[in-house]
Amino acid sequence: RIVVGKMSGAVGTGAAFGPRAMDIQSAAMSDLGIGVEEAATQVVGRDRHAEFIGVVANLAASLEKFCTEVRNLQRTEIGEVAEAFDAESQVGSSTMAHKENPVASENVCSLARIVRSLVIPALEDVPLWHERDLTNSAAERILLPHACVLIDEMLARTTEVFRTLRVFPDRMRANLEATNGQVMAEAVMMALAGKGLGRQEAHKLVREAAQAARTKAIQLREALLAEPQIAKLLSKAEIDAALNPEAYLGQSVAIVESTIKRLR
């Protein structure tokens, strides 16, 4: 829909080319290997350009989303991943010698703001006057090249971020354990429901156990075992199994693999 052209004269009617004007246009576009704008004015409709900029901006927003996640997970208090860092040649801060900032991800997020800002002028270029005025011309000299150059840089940087990403599984587990098992409350609730207990009743029992665990600053496991109704339905082994985060990944692996397969 985006890569099309026209050769139908100054106002798009093809009058100067005679009765075979549309055939001439089709032949010319075929030689160029692009589609034909069915109803043009002096130019191809700028809604196509706006759509292209919109697609680029949407891609930029997705890249920003990925890199924002890296930035947040690299924060000291989370520390689950980090961008690659060359200790010999890279300086995190000119004054704070300990810093290892996610500079590539920050760069992607910064550029995304510029790319998104191009959407509005691209849309403003759509309503050209009559058969075409020149209000789009100067804007497009900025919009199109900048959008392409910036998204290319963002793709390259994001690819490098994830190609060299450092991952810290021990920190991930420590963060999970920081909740004293409460992050696995849903799994316990579903295990109780699997024993025939109504879901709402299971939710109530687990919620009360979680509240007790927080109040007493104890592990959720301990609070669950102290609840007679829960202990009656689930053995210690079953509670331990439900509290194991590695056993509660759902279809995560399959989802990732199917997504990668589709995109390749």
CATH number at residue 232: 1.10.40.30
Q: How many CB atoms lie within 10 A of CB 241?
A: 15
Q: Where in the sequence is the domain holding 221, given as residue range(s)?
A: 179-247
154 with 57, same domain: the answer is yes
State residue 100's pLDDT score.
80
Residue 220 to residue 226: CA distance in whole angstroms: 10
60 with 153, same domain: the answer is yes
58 with 115, same domain: the answer is yes
The mean pLDDT of 127-132, rounded to a whole number, is 91
The mean pLDDT of 10-23, rounded to a whole number, is 94
Q: Which residues contact 146 (CB under 8 A, 6 or more apart)?
A: 114, 115, 118
32 with 50, same domain: the answer is no
Residue 169 to residue 244: CA distance in whole angstroms: 15
State residue 225's pLDDT score.
97
70 with 151, same domain: the answer is yes
DSSP the chain: --SEE--S-SSSS-GGGGGGHHHHHHHHHHHHT-EE-SS-SSS--HHHHHHHHHHHHHHHHHHHHHHHHHHHHTSTTT-SEE----TTT--S-SS-TT----HHHHHHHHHHHHHHHTHHHHHHTSS-STT--STTHHHHHHHHHHHHHHHHHHHHHHHHHHHS-EE-HHHHHHHHHTTTTGGGHHHHHHHHHHTT--HHHHHHHHHHHHHHHHHHT--HHHHHHT-HHHHHHS-HHHHHHHT-GGG--TTHHHHHHHHHHHH-
30 with 125, same domain: the answer is no
118 with 89, same domain: the answer is yes
Q: How many CB atoms lie within 10 A of CB 175?
A: 16
pLDDT at 258 over 90: yes
Task: Let me know if residue 52 belongs to a domain.
Answer: yes
Decide the pairing of beta strands 4-5 and 35-36: parallel
12 with 109, same domain: the answer is no
Confidence of residue 23 (pLDDT cuts 50, 70, 90): very high
State pTM to two decimals. 0.86
Task: Let me know if residue 23 belongs to a domain.
Answer: yes
The mean pLDDT of 178-186, rounded to a whole number, is 96
66 with 32, same domain: the answer is no
Task: Let me know if residue 263 belongs to a domain.
Answer: no
State residue 17's pLDDT score.
93
Domain of 139, CATH number, reads 1.20.200.10
The mean pLDDT of 238-242, rounded to a whole number, is 97
Number of domains in the chain: 3
13 with 98, same domain: the answer is no
